[in-house]
């Protein structure tokens, strides 16, 4: 999900895409060191691992972006800026990218970061043997080589003007290399401002600040504790009772109560986070495009926006590219709720009166179960019977997502259209959750990535959005704002809108007010 590069910044009143006035967020006059921050985090599971090939949205990502750095990070304005890379630049074709490493960045054991570590960190997600969900994003990389200890060169199969953004992906945190050139993620070493003191998957992660962090203006907390609290009510109660200082993804049904409570600040940014309901296009009955079209017309998007998000978002059109995106196709015909049109496509598919099962759990997204129950009701008017199977929260992302043929999913998006499409919609992508493949789409994906003319890129991305919206195997009903809630004891600067919790950089960027 792409967060708007024009997103509202926490700390200033403004209007979201849903037309909601946001309260002024509390912030300290200036950052200061000290204190232990406690975060009630959604998305944790007992299957969580510190292996970056396995990362999904959850406390592990927030923790590891405090323990590690990337070559590049996304700032509060949505721009790619140097982090471990002191500078980065493409050649004239944007086919060869050169990253020069900082000379003062070290791992927490004192070792200097070298090109070998960077190469190992990226190669961990490449090759036939990798199990990384980010493998598809790096298919374009044909070679990574060092030019001495301080320079890393990426050679691409085709030009990519957005490649620097890709290196900011949370999978591509830099960890040390072993002697044989493979990644030593088991060491838990990183170049970030914190070290891991305790890791209990699906329970808690405890972090401690390192005194020798190379960023003098970051890592303000002395310590951080990330608690997995998947139930939104429990997460909210933990904030109100003082068990935690910050939560993400509050229960929107009771968000108005939090807004009225003294001592709390609502931090909301608009972006491209979205809910999805993918179906396996390589399995019957979802292999029939007319059934997929029927399912898209059978969902009442406005009702979901109002009842699930309480207006904290905007209607989507079965494409992951949002109005916040640079190449958003604003003029595509909107899929509106139309039971009669859904019946028409069911008849075309020869599937009138079809019965389908959809899997969901609260762990999939806030309000996921409410959303599918509303979908169940709206689809019934179109002659579609949806059986909602409630799955266990624990292990949802390892046991249901990518395993069940029709389920609920959630995406935080990526900094560029190419990255979002490559990761989830390209043929053969590890995280192609709908098993969808379209020859024209895949052809355009490569052409748009290589095209340096922005006008031509816009035309290609427009056509790709039209294809995925009409023929794709994913129902995307809504885009959702990122909402975090903190006590007024927490201070922060401008909040990035590329994901919740300040682009998952909350531990590094925020402080005790």
Could you read off the pLDDT of 13-53 as tens digits, one per residue?
222 333 232 333 444 459 999 999 999 999 999 999 999 99
Q: How many Å apart are CA 513 and CA 37, to the nearest integer?
A: 11
* Mean pLDDT of all residues in 379-406: 97
Show the tokens assigned to 165: 């953004």
Phi, psi torsion values for 68, nearest 5 degrees: -125, 170
Our separate counts of H helices and E strands in the chain read: 15, 20
* 8 Å CB contact between 368 and 275: yes
Place 413 in a pLDDT band, splitting at 50, 70 and 90: confident
Percent helix, strand, coil in the chain, to 5, is 30, 25, 50
The pLDDT assigned to 124 comes to: 98
Q: What is the 3-state secondary structure (H, E, C) of 328-356?
A: CCCCCCCCCCCHHHHHHHHHHHCCCCCEE
For residue 16, the 8-state DSSP code is -
The pLDDT assigned to 451 comes to: 84
For residue 268, the 8-state DSSP code is E
pLDDT at 324 over 80: no
Kindly report the pTM of this predicted structure: 0.74
To the nearest whole number, what is the mean pLDDT of the chain?
A: 91
Q: Is 147 helix (H, G, I), strand (E, B) or coil?
A: coil
In degrees to the nearest 10, what's the CA dihedral of 457, 463, 469, 472? Answer: -90
Length of the chain: 513
Show the tokens assigned to 361: 């759990």
């Amino acid at each position: 999900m792409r967060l708007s590069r024009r997103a509202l910044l926490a700390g200033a009143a403004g209007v979201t895409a849903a037309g909601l006035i946001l309260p002024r967020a509390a912030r300290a006059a200036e950052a200061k060191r000290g204190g232990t921050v406690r975060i009630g985090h959604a998305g944790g599971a007992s299957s969580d691992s510190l292996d970056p090939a396995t990362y999904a949205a959850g406390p592990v990502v927030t923790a590891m972006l405090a323990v590690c750095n990337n070559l590049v990070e996304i700032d509060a304005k949505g721009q790619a800026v140097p982090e471990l890379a002191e500078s980065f630049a493409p050649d004239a074709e944007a086919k060869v990218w050169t990253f020069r490493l900082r000379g003062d960045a070290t791992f927490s054991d004192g070792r200097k970061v070298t090109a070998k570590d960077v190469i190992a960190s990226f190669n961990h997600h490449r090759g036939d043997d990798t199990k990384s969900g980010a493998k598809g994003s790096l298919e374009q990389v044909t070679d990574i080589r060092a030019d001495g200890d301080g320079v890393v060169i990426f050679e691409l199969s085709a030009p990519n003007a957005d490649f620097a953004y890709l290196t900011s992906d949370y999978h591509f945190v830099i960890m040390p290399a072993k002697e044989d050139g493979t990644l030593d993620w088991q060491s838990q070493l990183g170049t970030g401002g914190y070290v891991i003191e305790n890791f209990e998957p699906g329970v808690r992660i405890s972090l401690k600040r390192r005194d020798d962090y190379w960023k003098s203006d970051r890592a303000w907390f002395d310590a951080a504790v990330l608690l997995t609290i998947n139930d939104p009510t429990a997460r909210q109660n933990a904030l109100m009772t003082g068990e935690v200082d910050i939560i993400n993804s509050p229960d929107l049904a009771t968000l108005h109560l939090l807004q009225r409570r003294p001592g709390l600040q609502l931090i909301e940014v608009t972006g491209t986070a979205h809910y999805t309901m993918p179906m396996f296009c390589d399995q019957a009955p979802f292999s029939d495009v007319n059934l997929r079209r029927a399912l898209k017309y059978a969902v009442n998007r406005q009702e979901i926006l109002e009842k699930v998000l309480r207006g904290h978002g905007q209607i989507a059109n079965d494409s992951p590219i949002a109005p916040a995106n640079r190449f958003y196709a604003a003029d595509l015909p909107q899929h509106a709720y139309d039971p009669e049109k859904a019946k028409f496509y069911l008849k075309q598919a020869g599937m009138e009166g079809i019965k389908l099962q959809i899997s969901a759990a609260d762990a999939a997204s806030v309000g996921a179960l409410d959303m599918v129950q509303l979908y169940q009701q709206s689809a019934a008017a179109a002659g579609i019977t949806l059986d909602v199977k409630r799955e266990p929260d624990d292990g949802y992302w390892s046991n249901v997502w990518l395993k069940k043929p029709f389920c609920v999913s959630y995406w935080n998006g990526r900094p560029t259209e190419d990255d979002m499409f490559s990761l989830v919609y390209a043929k053969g992508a590890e995280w192609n959750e709908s098993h969808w493949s379209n020859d024209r789409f895949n052809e355009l994906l490569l052409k748009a990535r290589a095209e340096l003319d922005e006008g031509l890129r816009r035309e290609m991305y427009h056509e790709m959005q039209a294809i995925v919206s009409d023929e794709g195997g994913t129902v995307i009903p809504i885009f959702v704002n990122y909402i975090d809630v903190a006590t007024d004891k927490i201070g922060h600067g401008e909040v990035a809108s590329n994901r919740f919790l300040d682009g998952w950089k909350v531990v590094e960027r925020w402080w005790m007010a």
